Amino acid sequence: MKTIVLLLLLCLFFSFGTYAKEKELWDYPVKPGMEEWNALRTENERIASLQVPEEVLANLSLGDAVRLFITFPSFGHFTAWDTPQEGFAVMLSRYNIIRHLVSRNDAGGRLIAAYKDASLSGFRTLPYSNEFWPLKLFYIELLLSQKEILRTMTPVEKLELITEARSKYFEKIGNENFASLPELLFSFRIMASILYVEEYPELMSSPNRETIVEFINSGWLSDKGLPMAEIGRMIDNYVNSKN
């Protein structure tokens, strides 16, 4: 009898463990390229298929929230709009996983860790697909340039992020596949946005402040151009002042 009871308890333990693991590893059931996706006829149907169920969303750990953001099937959707920020705003309005992550105040450290794991050719150790790289890198950089995300970060996290973004910026310059201006702007915007949320005095008093803020708000260049050398000096001075 004791043996039977013990076996029942073990079965319950492993069944619960399996259930917890399945719950933790919820994934998008329909993705571009699948037959079910191709059967969707309208944009509203496709948008609905990419929503995380509310009961899953309400209990997401930080790690799972970041995982579902990184593995979001339509992560490149932002490129369909005139500027990166306009595209991100549309995605924010349509997809609850993005709203969920932006609304959290504890995501900074985990997002920075994922960003640091991302090389110019893909993730080094994280078990995520590198398909359509480097578009996914730009998608992550786009999130990390959002003021709502940056304002939740500690001073140490913002320094860590601006240092990593600067490193990636120079890596891109040295890589012929990334050296064009559009690819550079995603890293550059992270750094400029940190200066902005920190109300860095050099930026606040710059005669080019309006042009720089316009770039920060859109993620793209206006017809006024962008004083990149001036911003670069600000970034260097900011980092040096923190070290």
What pLDDT, on a 0 to 100 scale, did the predictor assign at position 21?
43
What pLDDT, on a 0 to 100 scale, did the predictor assign at position 243?
85
Domain residue ranges in the chain: 105-242
pTM: 0.88
For residue 128, give every residue at least 6 positions away whose Cβ sits within 8 Å of its Cβ, in sequence order, or none.
67, 70, 71
Handedness of CA 115, 119, 121, 126 (dihedral sign): negative
What pLDDT, on a 0 to 100 scale, did the predictor assign at position 197?
98
Peptide bond into 227 cis (omega under 30): no
Cα–Cα distances (Å) from 142 to 16, 186, 193, 195, 203, in that order, read 38, 6, 11, 16, 21
What pLDDT, on a 0 to 100 scale, did the predictor assign at position 177?
86
What is the rounded CA–CA span in Å between residue 100 and residue 139? Answer: 16
What pLDDT, on a 0 to 100 scale, did the predictor assign at position 7?
37
Roughly what angle, to the nearest 10 degrees, separates helices 84-94 and 209-218? 40
* 3-class state of residue 81 by DSSP: coil
What pLDDT, on a 0 to 100 scale, did the predictor assign at position 4?
41
Q: Computed over its alpha carbons, how large is the radius of gyration of the chain?
A: 21
Handedness of CA 166, 172, 152, 195 (dihedral sign): positive
What pLDDT, on a 0 to 100 scale, did the predictor assign at position 13?
40
Q: Tens-digit pLDDT profile for the chain (243 aa)?
A: 444 434 333 343 444 443 344 445 899 999 888 999 999 999 999 999 999 999 999 999 999 999 999 999 999 999 999 999 999 999 999 999 999 999 999 999 999 999 999 999 999 999 999 999 999 999 999 999 999 999 999 999 999 999 999 999 999 999 988 878 889 999 999 999 999 999 999 999 999 999 999 999 999 998 778 999 999 999 999 999 998
